[in-house]
Amino acid sequence: MTKSDYKQLSDLGEFGLIDHLTYSFQIKHSSTIKAVGDDAAVLDFKSKQIVVTTDLLVEGIHFNLSYVPLKHLGYKAVAVNLSDVCAMNAEPLQITVSIAVSNRFTLEALDDLYSGIHAACERYQIDLIGGDTTSSKQGLLISITAIGVLNDDTKPVYRSGAQENDLICVSGDLGAAYMGLQILERERRLFEQDASFKPSLDPYSYIIERQLKPEPRADIVSLLKHEKINITSMIDISDGLSSELMHICKASDKGCKIFEDKVPIAQETKDAAKDLNMNPIIAALNGGEDYELLFTTPLSSFEGINKIPGISIIGHISASDKNLLMITANGESIELKAQGWNALE
């Protein structure tokens, strides 16, 4: 980029830039009384409870722009926050988006980022209600706060409600996002060694999409409600199945037993793991970023759960004096450890 591109950005000024980036966002919900443009947004949820969650994404820590297109990054930044709202059994409605950008970002780059944010807001019917736009000394940083509502008789679902003998369920499949990241990292290294290298990502399109464009499982929350499933605890899988199981078991003061051959892993994930000489169950247990839902429900929900496509029962909750165990495909019992990603390393 040239100096003149940057001038364009600072010449717009903070308020001009916010106007430019947000003018195409339409308000969709009657609970949004006032969105962008004053000291604060005004919201009205009538007598309903709400949930609030926030996430901070830092360039070089959470994403690498050498293989993450800015549009995908914008989409994903919204998606991961909506996923937290879904994990509370709530319907996501509003977000604020704050960004800090260094002077290497052009207006066109920010337009790309916001086109992804816009796409996610359209896909999930989300109102953009505020934010902040500033410079950074280095790199891009995105801070999003998401707000959701607990409609009608919907109760929030915490991590702490799992009961002994509850079924442990997960939506979708696990480990794909992590394997997608491994493939992207491999291609980046090959490209760095030889700039004429042409990546052939076709066989990996599913797992790469899982890495670049995760989808919050608002559909699962709706289906569970429709089937009147009693969810006793829930969490979204951002840091890997092991880590999330530990959160639920710790908060609920319980143990658990899951079965390796019940953990849902897509064929594309298994294929990529084979190509990279890795064990796909490790990706599912410790990989993270799948943004599927992990939840528990009483045994009596068995039939209801089976009516919902794409939910796997992977084990059950055990007494508080029991460990967190996985029974492997050949019948061994191993203890689960959280080896999920540490954002502070």
Site for a second copy in 93-132 (CB under 8 A): 94, 96, 98-100, 129-132
- The answer to whether residues 51 and 88 touch, using CB atoms and an 8 Å cutoff, is yes
Name residues contacting a second copy, limited to 250-269 (CB under 8 A). Answer: 251
**Is 147 an interacting residue with respect to a second copy (CB under 8 A)?**
yes
DSSP β-bridge partners for residue 134? 100
Q: Which amino acid is at 80?
A: V
- The answer to whether residues 317 and 166 touch, using CB atoms and an 8 Å cutoff, is yes
Select the residue interacting with a second copy from 29, 72, 76, 159 (CB under 8 A): 159
Please state, in angstroms and rounded to a whole number, the distance separating the CA atoms of residues 319 and 324. Answer: 10
**Is 39 an interacting residue with respect to a second copy (CB under 8 A)?**
yes
**Is 54 an interacting residue with respect to a second copy (CB under 8 A)?**
yes
Select the residue interacting with a second copy from 1, 28, 55, 115 (CB under 8 A): 55
DSSP β-bridge partners for residue 127? 94
Select the residue interacting with a second copy from 1, 12, 276, 313 (CB under 8 A): 12
Among the candidate windows 8-16, 21-29, 186-194, 210-218, which touches a second copy by CB under 8 A?
8-16
**Is 90 an interacting residue with respect to a second copy (CB under 8 A)?**
yes
Written as six digits, the tokens of 169 are 């369920």
**Is 133 an interacting residue with respect to a second copy (CB under 8 A)?**
yes
**Is 45 an interacting residue with respect to a second copy (CB under 8 A)?**
yes
Among the candidate windows 68-76, 153-161, 168-176, 323-331, which touches a second copy by CB under 8 A?
153-161
**Is 59 an interacting residue with respect to a second copy (CB under 8 A)?**
yes
Q: Strands of 200-323 (E only): list them.
A: 233-236, 255-259, 293-297, 311-318
Residue whose CB is less far from a second copy, 100 or 229: 100
In this structure, the chain runs to a length of 345
Residue carrying structure tokens 């979708």 = 172
**Is 242 an interacting residue with respect to a second copy (CB under 8 A)?**
no
Select the residue interacting with a second copy from 37, 151, 279, 332 (CB under 8 A): 37
| Torsions phi, psi for 242 (to 5 deg) | -60, -50
> Residue 146 burial (CB < 10 Å; 0-12/13-18/19+)?
buried
Residue whose CB is less far from a second copy, 88 or 314: 88
Name residues contacting a second copy, limited to 275-334 (CB under 8 A). Answer: none
- End-to-end distance of the chain based on CA atoms, in angstroms? 32
DSSP β-bridge partners for residue 256? 317, 324
**Is 203 an interacting residue with respect to a second copy (CB under 8 A)?**
no
